Amino acid sequence: MTDTRTGLPRGATSAVAGTDGVDATGVDHAAGAPDAPRASRPTVASDATDATDATATSVDAAGRAALDRPVLPLRHPLRWIAAAVVLVVLLNFVETLFTNESWGWPAVGKWLFSPAILTGLQLTLVATALSAVISFTGGIVVAIARLSHNPVLSGLAWGYVWLFRSVPLILVLVFLYNLGSLYPTIGIGIPFGPQVEVTTANVLGDLAIGVIGLSLSEIAYASEIVRAGVLAVDHGQHEAAQALGLPRRRQFVRVILPQALRSIVPAFVNQVVGLLKASSLLFYVSLLDLFGVVQNLSSTYPTDIIPLLVVATLWYLALTSAVSVVQYYVERWTARGSVRALPPTPFQRVRAAVRRGSGRGSGRPGGPDRARQAASGARVVASGPASTIDDRTI
């Protein structure tokens, strides 16, 4: 039998098609309909690549345009008006400082470093420093007793805090100053039995009375600050320290207290500032601190009352500023375990601002910050198309 389409025997047609894959009509049967999409795949891949390149080009151009576009800050007219009003009031006050002769600035310069003022300043520093150390140490002890599971220790600590937070400091100082009238002798020994006694006046001098009075009052406040700091430590730290098998004393000293200091330091330094100002009450127990010396000189030189008060104000401002500087560096030191990088000091900030202003480290206008922003934006733009291509390939 012959094939009606080719005129050849059907076997010959099959043989030719099976051998060469092409029949006599020139039709490639091997590239039939089932394999048609295989021939079009290179064309689709090429179109996808061209589309990706076009997308990358457009995104790159958009990124460069975004980097070159100026950033306009949001305007706050009310904020500037309020700042202008405050600045005008401040300048008016500063003007009165220089135009009002009643301030007596020549007398202020005369008394600022006088030996009497410096002697009172020294006494203020000694009393404040001793009271701060004693109150912090005593505050830790009272806080531990307050947190103790022993009801006697906890109750006594609570009673101490309740008593000295309720009584004004001036009353505590006056009671201690008249302690000799209440207890002419102080002794220790067996209750209602033999005791070793000494005269009160021989043991407690004026400075000792002042320091004890300040410390007794401040311990009550410091203990609450320490207790709050200890309670602020995460309970998991307590459990981790116990799991390591550390003794309780070592748990508190090496694990709990260092972490609690982050909360204790700001509040306690604020308490020290208050203690510095409260030391002016020592004048009422015959201690001539800075304020006491100023009061005595004011009675001797009544025409210099205002300049002497200005002198005391300037010295208290200087002492408070020094305490604030110490507070900053102590807080920075206690924050070492809670942050990855310590914040820059004011000196480091000024140095960085000077470098940014000079444009050091970058040849472009705007300094190194602008260069870093441009480089970061370029990396983001460059990474966008690549991630798209990888996703499509996957």
Whole-angstrom Cα distance, residue 368 to residue 360? 7
Share above pLDDT 70 across residues of the chain, in percent, rounded to a whole number: 74
Q: What is the pLDDT of residues 239-264, one digit of tens each?
A: 888 888 888 888 888 888 888 888 89
pLDDT beyond 60 at 382: no
Q: What is the pLDDT of residue 20?
A: 46
Q: Please report which confidence band the pLDDT of residue 58 belongs to, taking 50, 70 and 90 as the band edges.
A: low
Please report, rounded to a whole number, the percentage of residues in the chain having pLDDT higher than 90.
Answer: 35
Say how far apart CA 335 and CA 261 lie, in whole Å: 9
Give residue 212's pLDDT: 92
φ/ψ of 186, rounded to 5, equals -120, 130
Distance between CA atoms of residues 44 and 213, nearest Å: 91
Q: Which residues contact 366 (CB under 8 A, 6 or more apart)?
A: 359
- Residue 64 clears pLDDT 70, i.e. is over it: yes
User: How many whole angstroms separate alpha carbon 243 and alpha carbon 10?
Assistant: 91
Of 62-66, 131-135, 159-163, 174-178, the poorest mean pLDDT is in: 62-66
- Mark out the alpha helices in the chain (DSSP H runs): 10-20, 36-68, 77-99, 105-111, 115-147, 151-166, 169-177, 179-182, 200-203, 206-232, 235-243, 248-251, 257-278, 290-300, 305-334, 346-358, 367-393
pLDDT at 256 (0 to 100)? 86
Mean pLDDT across the stretch 58-80?
77
Supply the pLDDT for residue 205.
Answer: 81
- DSSP per-residue string spanning 318-357: HHHHHHHHHHHHHHHHHTTTT-SSPPPPHHHHHHHHHHHH
pLDDT at 357: 79
| Residue 346 pLDDT level (bands cut at 50, 70, 90) | confident
- Residue 225 has what pLDDT? 94
Q: What is the pLDDT of residues 203-242, one digit of tens each?
A: 778 888 899 999 999 999 999 999 999 998 888 888 888 8
End-to-end C-alpha distance for the chain, whole angstroms: 54
Q: Measuring CA to CA, which residue among 52, 260, 55 is closest to residue 147?
A: 260
| Per-residue pLDDT reduced to its tens digit, 70-94 | 777 788 889 999 999 999 999 999 9
Q: Which of 47-51, 182-186, 265-269, 311-315 has the lowest mean pLDDT?
A: 47-51
Q: Contact, 356 vs 370, CB < 8 A?
A: no
Over residues 93-110, the mean pLDDT reads 89
- Whole-number pLDDT of residue 166: 93
> Per-residue confidence at 34, pLDDT binned at 50, 70, 90?
very low
